[in-house]
Amino acid sequence: PTFFALFLASTPVFWLGMMFMLMFSLKLGWLPAYGIASWKSYVLPTLALGLPYAAQQLRFTRSSMLETIRSDYVMTARAKGASERKVIWKHAMKNAVMPIITIIGINFGALLGGAIVTETLFSIPGLGMYLVTGIKQYDVPVVTGSAITLAVVFSIVMLLMDLLYALVDPRIKAQYA
């Protein structure tokens, strides 16, 4: 599992998308290679875009949990006789989740950029395809508007991540009370 996660985390979205198109569309004929015809049209783009970031998130979550499990307060909870389930969920996960939330927010920005590539690769009409068409045609208002829209969406997601910090960590909530 670690090798597979490392391989997926280091694979570019466009290459993975092309390999999926080659395998599942051209060779096996299971899924459409481009366009939007039905729900099947979303399978390959979703996998091509999501798998590398999911693998990266998996590796980061694992390393964060391993670091937290080795902490003194986790060993103290074990020494006091708490069950392993309680130690993991009550003590370790509560403290390991903060950097995980940060990486989720940062990865969302990368997903927005990857969506532009994925929409272009799979010929999916959307904001990414609109932006690429605007760049090709030197349409400055389209490029500016698309970039501003993506920046606003990313800013809203980062704001939600900050609000999620306060929900997860009572120390942060206490600062704003």
Average pLDDT over residues 61-87: 86
pLDDT at 99: 85
pLDDT at 152: 95
Q: Where are the alpha helices (DSSP H) in the chain?
A: 2-9, 13-20, 43-69, 72-79, 84-86, 93-121, 127-136, 140-168, 170-176
Q: How far apart are CA 49 and CA 166, in angstroms?
A: 29
Q: How far apart are CA 173 and CA 37, in angstroms?
A: 46
pLDDT at 19: 92
Separation of first and last alpha carbons in the chain: 43
Q: Render pLDDT for 120-172 as a digit per residue (tens, 0 to 9).
A: 888 888 888 899 999 999 999 999 999 999 999 999 999 998 888 888 877 77
Whether 174 has a pLDDT exceeding 80, the answer reads no
Output the average pLDDT for the chain. 87
Q: Render pLDDT for 75-111 as a digit per residue (tens, 0 to 9).
A: 888 888 888 888 888 878 878 888 888 888 888 888 8
